[in-house]
Amino acid sequence: MPGWLYRRLGDRLFSALVVGLALGVVLAALAIVWVLYQGGREALHTFGFLGFLTGSRWDAVRGEFGAWPPLLGTLLTSAAALFLAFFPALSAALFVVEFAPRALKGAVAYLIDLLAALPSVVYGLWGIFVLVPLVRERVELPLFTWAAAHAPGLLAFLGPPTGIGMLSAILVLALMIVPYASALARDALALVPQSQREAMYALGATRWEVIRRVVIPYARAGIFSGVVLALARALGETMAVTMLIGNSVNLPYTLFGPAATMASLIANEFTEAEDDLHLSALIAVGFVLLLIALATNLVAAWVLRRMSLGEGRK
Amino acid sequence: MEGRYRMETQRLSVYYGKHHGVRGVSLPVHDRKITALIGPSGCGKTTFLRALNRMHDLNPIVRVEGRVLLDGEDVYAPEVDPVVVRRRVGMVFQRPTPFPTMSIFENVVAGLRLVGVRDRKRLMEAAERALRMAALWDEVKDRLHQPAVGLSGGQQQRLSIARALAVEPEVLLMDEPTSALDPISTQAIEDLLATLKDEVTIVIVTHNMQQAARVSDYTAFFLDGELVEFDRTEKIFTNPKDPRTEAYITGRFG
Amino acid sequence: MNLRRRYLRDRVMQGLVYLGTLAVLLPLFFILYYVFVQGIGALDLAFFTRPPAPPGEGGGGMLPAIVGSLVVDLIALALAAVFGVAAGVLLAEYPDHPLNPFLHLVSDVMAGLPAILMGLVAFVLVVKPMGHFSGLSGAVALALIMVPIITRATEGVLKLIPWEITEAGLALGLPRWRVILSLVLPAARGGILTGLMLALARGAGEAAPLLFTAFGNPFLTLNPLEPMDTLPLKLYVYAISPYEDWHRQAWGAALLLAAAIMVANYLARRATRS
Which DSSP string corresponds to C164-189? HHHHHHHHTT--HHHIIIIIIHHHTH
User: Which tens digit of pLDDT belongs to each residue from C132-173?
Assistant: 999 999 999 999 999 999 999 999 999 999 989 989 999 998
Which CATH architecture group holds B7-97+170-249? 3-Layer(aba) Sandwich (3.40)
Residue B253 burial by Cβ neighbours in a 10 Å radius (0-12, 13-18, 19+): exposed
| Phi, psi angle pair for B64, to nearest 5° | -115, 135
What are the distances in angstroms from CA C81 to CA A21, B176, C144, C195, C200? 11, 52, 11, 9, 10
Residue A81 banded pLDDT, cuts 50, 70, 90: very high
**What is the percentage of chain C residues whose pLDDT exceeds 70?**
99
Contact B99 A196 (CB under 8 A): yes
**Residue C179: half-sphere exposure toward Cβ, Cα within 13 Å:** 21
CA–CA gap between residue A303 and residue A309 (Å, rounded): 10
Judged by DSSP in three states, A22 sits in helix
**What is the percentage of chain C residues whose pLDDT exceeds 90?**
84
Spell out which chain B residues touch chain C, with contact meaning CB-CB distance below 8 angstroms: 81, 83-84, 114-116
Which residues in chain B have their CB less than 8 angstroms from residue C10's CB?
none
| Residue of chain B whose alpha carbon sits nearest to that of A220 | B101
Tell me the shortest Cα–Cα distance from C140 to chain A, in angstroms: 11
By DSSP bridging, strand B226-232 and strand B218-223 are antiparallel
Which residues in chain A have their CB less than 8 angstroms from residue C170's CB?
none
Asked which of A231-235, A238-242, A282-286, C266-270 is least confident by mean pLDDT, the reply is C266-270
A-C CB pairs within 8 A amount to: 263
Query: What does the pLDDT read at residue C1?
Result: 54
Q: Which of C6, C9, C11 has the highest number of chain B CBs within 10 A, making it the mutation to test binding with B?
A: C6
Residue C271 banded pLDDT, cuts 50, 70, 90: confident
In a domain, C72, yes or no: yes
| Predicted confidence (pLDDT) at residue A107 exceeds the cutoff of 80 | yes
| Residue of chain A whose alpha carbon sits nearest to that of B160 | A199
Query: What does the pLDDT read at residue A301?
Result: 79
Instruction: Considering only the beta carbons, identify the residue of A101, A197, A202 that sits closest to B86.
Output: A202
**Whether the Cβ atoms of residue A128 and residue C239 lie closer than 8 Å to each other:** yes
CA–CA gap between residue B99 and residue B79 (Å, rounded): 31
- Going B147 to B151 to B155 to B160, the CA torsion angle's sign is positive
Instruction: Considering only the beta carbons, identify the residue of A17, A125, A297 that sits closest to C254.
Output: A125
Tell me the shortest Cα–Cα distance from A98 to chain C, in angstroms: 10
Which CATH number does the domain housing residue C142 bear? 1.10.3720.10
In a domain, C130, yes or no: yes
Query: What does the pLDDT read at residue A298?
Result: 85
In a domain, C96, yes or no: yes
Spatial strand order in the sheet of B62-70: B19-29, B7-16, B62-70, B73-74
Tell me the shortest Cα–Cα distance from A152 to chain C, in angstroms: 32
CA–CA gap between residue A187 and residue A142 (Å, rounded): 42
Judged by DSSP in three states, B199 sits in coil
User: Which tens digit of pLDDT belongs to each residue from A130-189?
Assistant: 999 999 999 999 988 998 898 888 887 787 889 999 999 999 999 999 999 999 999 999
Contact A220 B101 (CB under 8 A): yes
Window 284-313 of A, Cβ < 8 Å to B: 310-313
Cβ partners under 8 Å of residue A291, min gap 6: none
pLDDT (tens place) for every residue of chain B, 254 residues total: 344 689 999 999 999 988 999 999 999 999 999 999 999 988 999 999 999 999 999 998 999 999 999 999 999 999 999 999 999 999 999 999 999 999 999 999 999 999 989 999 999 999 999 999 999 999 999 999 999 999 999 999 999 999 999 999 999 999 999 998 899 889 999 999 999 988 999 999 998 899 999 999 999 999 999 999 999 999 999 999 999 999 998 887 64
Contact C1 B116 (CB under 8 A): yes
CA–CA gap between residue A31 and residue C123 (Å, rounded): 12
Query: Over the Cα atoms of chain B, what is R_g?
Result: 18
In a domain, C34, yes or no: no
List the domains of chain A with CATH numbers: 68-311 (1.10.3720.10)
By DSSP bridging, strand B34-38 and strand B19-29 are unpaired
By DSSP bridging, strand A64-65 and strand A58-59 are antiparallel
Query: Over the Cα atoms of chain A, what is R_g?
Result: 24
Which residues in chain A have their CB less than 8 angstroms from residue B130's CB?
none
Tell me the shortest Cα–Cα distance from B115 to chain C, in angstroms: 5
Query: Over the Cα atoms of chain C, what is R_g?
Result: 23
In a domain, C77, yes or no: yes
Boundaries of domain holding C216: 64-231
**Whether the Cβ atoms of residue A108 and residue C25 lie closer than 8 Å to each other:** yes
Closest by Cα among A176, A245, A122 to C231 = A122
By DSSP bridging, strand B19-29 and strand B7-16 are antiparallel
By DSSP bridging, strand B34-38 and strand B89-92 are unpaired
Instruction: Considering only the beta carbons, identify the residue of B55, B90, B110 that sits closest to A198.
Output: B55
CA–CA gap between residue A55 and residue B3 (Å, rounded): 82
| Predicted confidence (pLDDT) at residue A5 exceeds the cutoff of 90 | no
Residues A248, A249, A254: CA angle, nearest 5 degrees? 60
Q: Which of C5, C14, C21 has the highest number of chain A CBs within 10 A, making it the mutation to test binding with A?
A: C21
Query: What does the pLDDT read at residue A252?
Result: 85
| Phi, psi angle pair for B109, to nearest 5° | -95, 10
Count up the domains in chain C and report the number. 1
Contact B81 C1 (CB under 8 A): no
Which amino acid is present at A55? G
List chains adjacent to chain B, taking adjacency as at least 3 C-beta pairs closer than 8 Å.
Answer: A, C
Contact A32 C121 (CB under 8 A): yes
Contact B110 A311 (CB under 8 A): no
Residue A308 banded pLDDT, cuts 50, 70, 90: low
> Average of pLDDT values for A21-40?
96
| Predicted confidence (pLDDT) at residue A2 exceeds the cutoff of 80 | no
In a domain, C143, yes or no: yes
What's chain B's length in residues?
A: 254
Query: What does the pLDDT read at residue B3?
Result: 47
Contact C175 A25 (CB under 8 A): no
Which residues in chain B have their CB less than 8 angstroms from residue A311's CB?
100-101, 147, 149
Tell me the shortest Cα–Cα distance from C171 to chain B, in angstroms: 40
**Which residues on adjacent β-strands are paired with residue C228?**
C215
Closest by Cα among C52, C84, C76, C83 to C66 = C52
**Whether the Cβ atoms of residue C145 and residue C139 lie closer than 8 Å to each other:** no
Closest by Cα among B223, B230, B241 to B23 = B223
CA–CA gap between residue A222 and residue B157 (Å, rounded): 27
| Phi, psi angle pair for B69, to nearest 5° | -95, 130
| Residue of chain C whose alpha carbon sits nearest to that of B117 | C1
Judged by DSSP in three states, C38 sits in helix
Which residues in chain C have their CB less than 8 angstroms from residue B83's CB?
3, 6
Tell me the shortest Cα–Cα distance from B99 to chain A, in angstroms: 7
Query: What does the pLDDT read at residue A312?
Result: 42
Contact B55 A197 (CB under 8 A): no
> How do the residues of chain C divide into helix, strand and coil, expressed in percent and rounded to 5?
75, 0, 25
**Whether the Cβ atoms of residue A60 and residue A232 lie closer than 8 Å to each other:** no
Mean pLDDT of chain C: 93
CA–CA gap between residue C83 and residue A25 (Å, rounded): 7
Tell me the shortest Cα–Cα distance from C241 to chain B, in angstroms: 54
Residues C225, C227, C232: CA angle, nearest 5 degrees? 125
Q: What is the DSSP letter of A270?
A: G
In a domain, C266, yes or no: no
- Going C126 to C127 to C132 to C138, the CA torsion angle's sign is positive
Residue B133 burial by Cβ neighbours in a 10 Å radius (0-12, 13-18, 19+): buried
* Residue C130: Cβ within 10 Å count: 12
Tell me the shortest Cα–Cα distance from C127 to chain B, in angstroms: 53
List chains adjacent to chain A, taking adjacency as at least 3 C-beta pairs closer than 8 Å.
Answer: B, C
Spell out which chain B residues touch chain A, with contact meaning CB-CB distance below 8 angstroms: 53, 55, 58, 60, 83-84, 86-87, 90-91, 93, 95, 97, 99-102, 110-111, 113-115, 147, 149-150, 160, 163-164, 167
Instruction: Considering only the beta carbons, identify the residue of B83, B84, B115 that sits closest to C1.
Output: B115
> Average of pLDDT values for A187-212?
96
Q: What is the DSSP letter of B148?
A: G
Contact C3 B81 (CB under 8 A): yes
Q: Which of A125, A274, A283 has the highest number of chain C CBs within 10 A, making it the mutation to test binding with C?
A: A125
Cβ partners under 8 Å of residue C83, min gap 6: A21, A22, A24, A25, A28, C143, C147
Contact A204 B167 (CB under 8 A): yes
Query: What does the pLDDT read at residue C274?
Result: 59
Closest by Cα among B110, B143, B109, B115 to B127 = B109
CA–CA gap between residue B89 and residue B80 (Å, rounded): 13
* Structural element, H or E, at residue C143: helix C135-160
Closest by Cα among B3, B25, B1 to B14 = B25
* Residue C57: Cβ within 10 Å count: 10
Judged by DSSP in three states, B229 sits in strand
Tell me the shortest Cα–Cα distance from C7 to chain B, in angstroms: 10
Contact C207 A239 (CB under 8 A): yes
Contact A237 C240 (CB under 8 A): no
Query: Which ipTM was obtained for this model?
Result: 0.94
Which residues in chain A have their CB less than 8 angstroms from residue C114's CB?
232, 235-238, 263, 289-290, 293
Which amino acid is present at A250? N
Helix axes C63-93 and A3-47, enclosed angle (nearest 10): 120
> Average of pLDDT values for A213-222?
94
Residue A92 banded pLDDT, cuts 50, 70, 90: very high
Which residues in chain C have their CB less than 8 angstroms from residue A169's CB?
none
| Residue of chain A whose alpha carbon sits nearest to that of C197 | A117
In a domain, C245, yes or no: no
**Whether the Cβ atoms of residue C208 and residue A120 lie closer than 8 Å to each other:** yes
Which amino acid is present at B216? S
Query: What does the pLDDT read at residue C18?
Result: 97
| Residue of chain C whose alpha carbon sits nearest to that of B84 | C3
Task: Quote the distance between the C-alpha of residue C179 and its chain's center.
Answer: 31
Contact B111 A312 (CB under 8 A): no
List chains adjacent to chain C, taking adjacency as at least 3 C-beta pairs closer than 8 Å.
Answer: A, B
